[in-house]
A and B are shown apart, each in its own frame.
Chain A
Amino acid sequence: MMENGYSLHFEKDTCKIYDSRRLEIGEVKMEKRNRSFPISFKPGTNIAMKAEVDDSWLWHRRFGHFNTHALKLLYQKNMMRDLPYLKENNESCEGCLLGKQHRLPFSTDKAWRAKDLLELIHTDVCGPMRTPSHHNNRYFILFIDDFSRMTWVYFLKAKSEVFGIFKKFKALVEKQSGKQIKVLRSDRGKEYTSHEFDKFCEDEGIERQLTVAYTPQQNGVSERKNRTVMEMARSMLKEKGLPNTFWAEAVYTAVYLLNRCPTKAVQDKTPIEAWSGKKPSAKHLRVFGSVCYIHVPDQKRHKLEDKTVRGIFLGYSTQSKGYRVYNLQTKKLTISRDIEVDESATWNWEEEQIERKTIYMPNNQPTTSQEDNDQDTIITPESPATPTSIQDQEESSPESTPRRIRSLTDIYESCNLAILEPGTFEEAAKQEEWVKAMKEEIKTIEKNNTWELADCPKDKDIIGVKWVFKTKLNPDGTIHKHKARLVAKGYSQQPGVDYNETFAPVARLDTIRTLIALAAQKGWSIYQLDVKSAFLNGVLEEEIYIEQPPGFVVKGQEAKVLRLKKALYGLKQAPRAWYSRIDQYFTNHGFRRSKSEPTLYIKTQG
């Protein structure tokens, strides 16, 4: 329970249960007998919920599954225009999990930070990817400015292209910022340590910082950025089920978004603001990979043609004010300004049609209403033997829509819950269902003509009886039935005095398998019959007296005892009595007992 946000407060002999908002939902008294805290689950009254559509979830997806805490920061610190109020959200999102599950971190220590733009550039190559992108690229290279954390990405077909790209990048950033690259930090990949690369850096006066071989930790910024980018790209791809060939688009968009997302390394600014000094806008952001409708410009169509074609939204163009879209008809990437994005729709690539996933409804502040009853909440049965009853929602608090349904046994197991069964007659007598179960048992015993009332004999021991209670469960963990069984305290019986032989033969598995094998060979059918409460059928040879069962003592004859005619569970001779009974039955009906296997009876035709 604690894992689900409830807190339990133990005090004296009670346990108070609070939910995550510190509201008391119930109090449980300790059971003296076994020091447990029985809770009863009432079937959750069917509650229907109305959830406010919470924008923060949509924006989380628009920002490529960026973490909600940082998005909230974006709003609070007013780092971006046109952004609604966003809440922090700890709900797990499938896209995020598919893309970002990770191992726990290594510890890090403070490193030197650049004081100005382009003072330090981190770089790393990532790849090769298994699937080439649409332009046959297999690698991408990241350049990260240490001061602003602005990131640039380039795609390559081979690692040898790194040098050319670096020259291009250098020209671009130096022109844009008016500053010069001073230090370049990279790993010892051959692409960075080539002769021409070294020469170029020397000529340009760029200091090289290379990591120690096989110590990628020293290139931490790049490696971490690599991961952030790949995680975001993966989340975006997986959520919309895009084919892996779109990885380059996803990486490109991820870098675009990350430049507009806060990082810890830059205070109160997005990287792009730190780089260019301009505050970015969020107005144009859409969920990556959604189905979109591309307006066909007037020049390209007749009057009666469709005004739109379907496409996949693949990000933002940096060169022109427009969106990058994949045209599903022509199978080409285009840039278009006029698109309509359906952010809840997903394109099914196999069946080539639109699929609509329901939007996650996070459960922050939904309002509940009791109006309609068609809501599927988990129905928890009322468990027996529960003195206090509180309404507790283990899995489904009334404010949440159930995401998936687990069987009750699973829940019981994981919560250390056990169903309480009464240990003694006195306890059971208080509860209706057990009283009913006991009455049933007595009825079958009496129907079976098991005993008769008799005077208490002087020279015989009286064997005690007791009730045993058992809750039978269905495979899914719900209660099947309550069973009460009257058993004799056979342990007080003494050999030679109360009983002689107790041995009863049991079928050998070898015999059973022999029968099955033979049946298979011969094409026979095997039928099965089952005797209910078999031991109760055994006829006793010895004189046995038992007490009257608790709760069913005949009025006015309290001093009398019962003389058993048939066996009772718990008696030492019960198995043997049953065996001799069934043996007698079979032999009377023309069966022949096998000499080599006393539990095998054969009857042949005629």
Chain B
Amino acid sequence: MLMEFKEDMMKTFEMTNLGLMTYFLSIEVSQRDDGIFISQKKDTEDLLKKFKMYGCKPVSTPLVTNEKLQKVDGAPEANASRYKSLVGSLLHLTATRPDIMFATSLLSRFMQNPSQIHLGIRKRILRYLQGTKEYSIWYKSTSNPTLLGYTNSDWAGSVDDMKSTLGYAFSLGSGIFSLASKKQATVAQSTAEAEYVAATEATSQAIWLRRILKDMGEKQSGPTTINCDNKSTITMTKNHVHHSRTKHIAIKYHFIREAETNMEIRLEYCPTEDQIADTFTKVLPRPRFELLRTMLGVTEFASRRSIKV
């Protein structure tokens, strides 16, 4: 059937047959028997060259812990157009680099009026990339692919407006393929509320992914598990009580309760240590960052077999 289709299509359009996919939308794909590795090494190198950071001294994490960024920090202004250009390039790289997702989304908050401090952070990310050019996502084949989600949120992480940052990640057992790091639209009054909002966003994504997978012939039998490290949030979704602390939460965020009743998702508790989505919501110290990075499925091609997930 495949050959037939190919031939017919070649007849209708003027086409080139590229065979097995190796290079698609600047993503380098290497298909192996035991899985697929996707990377953007060339783009990373081009980016480093473009910003004249090629061959710089590498660092092991993209961000410094305990450094809070804010819009107006008193430092002199920086060249905004170059800054924007870099953020764009980094966003492009996040296609295969979930480990810089949070750093990139953090930088993109200051595109309006970047200062020299933001520029310094930008440099650090480039130095991190220099050291981890070879890193990318490795999708290992496992016997039983089931959709698995993680959701997390920090609380009032943004200094400027006290909004929280949510993060979620989905995998089919190894290597995450759908992720987000996003500042929430409303101010959360408690950590539970922040996590609740995050869980709702993750739920919408989960439902969409379930549909896509179903279309691809991979129907999910049971509800999709989403791991959350906040017990009050889990209770809030299961127990429809009108609590004095939750009465103000916008109706759209209660969507998760419906999804839970319809058996589309199931929110489950997981200890913070296993919370992959932590990388998308806060700056982490190096050992934890590196551990979570391997849990995301981000690795060097050569050492891909060391991934256990």
Binding partners A and B: yes
A444, B13: Cα distance in complex, Å: 12
Instruction: Report if A520-B175 is in contact (Cβ < 8 Å); known contacts: A597-B212, A600-B212.
Output: yes
**Residues in A neighbouring B38, C-beta threshold 8 A:** 513, 516
Q: Are B19 and A528 in contact (CB under 8 A)?
A: yes
Q: Are B5 and A589 in contact (CB under 8 A)?
A: yes
Q: Are A532 and B15 in contact (CB under 8 A)?
A: yes
Q: Which of A514, A516, A532 is within 8 Å of B29, CB to CB?
A: A516
Instruction: Report if A530-B212 is in contact (Cβ < 8 Å); known contacts: A510-B177, A513-B177, A521-B141.
Output: no
A: interface residue count bin? 35 or more
Instruction: Report if A596-B6 is in contact (Cβ < 8 Å); known contacts: A526-B20, A531-B13.
Output: no
A519, B172: Cα distance in complex, Å: 11
Interface membership of chain A positions 526-566, coded 1 if the CB is closer than 8 angstroms to chain B and 0 otherwise = 11111111100100000000000000000000000000000
Tell me the chain B residues, 271-289 only, with Cβ under 8 Å from chain A. none
Tell me the chain A residues, 334-389 only, with Cβ under 8 Å from chain B. none
Q: Which of A444, A514, A602, A605 is within 8 Å of B177, CB to CB?
A: A514
Interface membership of chain A positions 485-527, coded 1 if the CB is closer than 8 angstroms to chain B and 0 otherwise = 0000000000000000000000001111111111111110111
Which of B193-201, B214-222, B227-235 is the interface stretch?
A: B214-222
Q: Which of B2, B8, B27, B216 is within 8 Å of A589, CB to CB?
A: B8
Q: Are A521 and B173 in contact (CB under 8 A)?
A: yes
Instruction: Report if A602-B36 is in contact (Cβ < 8 Å); known contacts: A517-B171, A529-B17.
Output: no
Task: Output the nearest chain B residue to A591 by Cβ-Cβ distance.
Answer: B5
Task: Output the nearest chain A residue to B138 by Cβ-Cβ distance.
Answer: A520
Q: Are B29 and A526 in contact (CB under 8 A)?
A: yes
Interface membership of chain B positions 206-247, coded 1 if the CB is closer than 8 angstroms to chain A and 0 otherwise = 001101110111100000000000000000000000000000
Q: Which of B5, B16, B175 is within 8 Å of A530, CB to CB?
A: B16
Instruction: Report if A596-B31 is in contact (Cβ < 8 Å); known contacts: A510-B177, A522-B141, A526-B20.
Output: no
Q: Is A595 an interface residue (CB 8 A)?
A: yes
Q: Are B20 and A516 in contact (CB under 8 A)?
A: no
Q: Are A596 and B211 in contact (CB under 8 A)?
A: yes
Instruction: Report if A520-B139 is in contact (Cβ < 8 Å); known contacts: A526-B31, A603-B5, A605-B1.
Output: yes
**Residues in A neighbouring B171, C-beta threshold 8 A:** 517
Q: Are B35 and A529 in contact (CB under 8 A)?
A: no
Q: State the majority secondary structure of interface residues on B.
A: mixed
**Residues in A neighbouring B31, C-beta threshold 8 A:** 519, 525-526
**Residues in A neighbouring B139, C-beta threshold 8 A:** 516-517, 519-521
Q: Are B18 and A513 in contact (CB under 8 A)?
A: no
B contacts with A, residue count (CB < 8 A):
50
**Residues in B neighbouring A596, C-beta threshold 8 A:** 208, 211-212, 215
Q: Is B55 an interface residue (CB 8 A)?
A: no
A511, B12: Cα distance in complex, Å: 26
Q: Are A529 and B178 in contact (CB under 8 A)?
A: no
Interface membership of chain B positions 123-156, coded 1 if the CB is closer than 8 angstroms to chain A and 0 otherwise = 0000000000000010111100100000000000
Q: Are A531 and B172 in contact (CB under 8 A)?
A: no
Task: Output the nearest chain B residue to A517 by Cβ-Cβ distance.
Answer: B177
Task: Output the nearest chain B residue to A536 by Cβ-Cβ distance.
Answer: B14
A522, B10: Cα distance in complex, Å: 27
Q: Is B33 an interface residue (CB 8 A)?
A: yes
Q: Is A215 an interface residue (CB 8 A)?
A: no
**Residues in A neighbouring B15, C-beta threshold 8 A:** 529-532
Q: Is B9 an interface residue (CB 8 A)?
A: yes
**Max chain B CB contacts within 10 Å: which of A448, A529, A589?**
A529
**Max chain B CB contacts within 10 Å: which of A512, A520, A531, A596?**
A520
**Residues in A neighbouring B25, C-beta threshold 8 A:** 512
Instruction: Report if A518-B172 is in contact (Cβ < 8 Å); known contacts: A511-B212, A585-B12, A605-B1.
Output: yes
A467, B139: Cα distance in complex, Å: 45
Q: Is A594 an interface residue (CB 8 A)?
A: yes
Listed in ascending order, the chain B residues whose CB lies under 8 Å from chain A are 1-2, 5-6, 8-10, 12-22, 24-25, 27, 29, 31, 33, 35-36, 38, 95, 137, 139-142, 145, 171-175, 177-178, 208-209, 211-213, 215-218
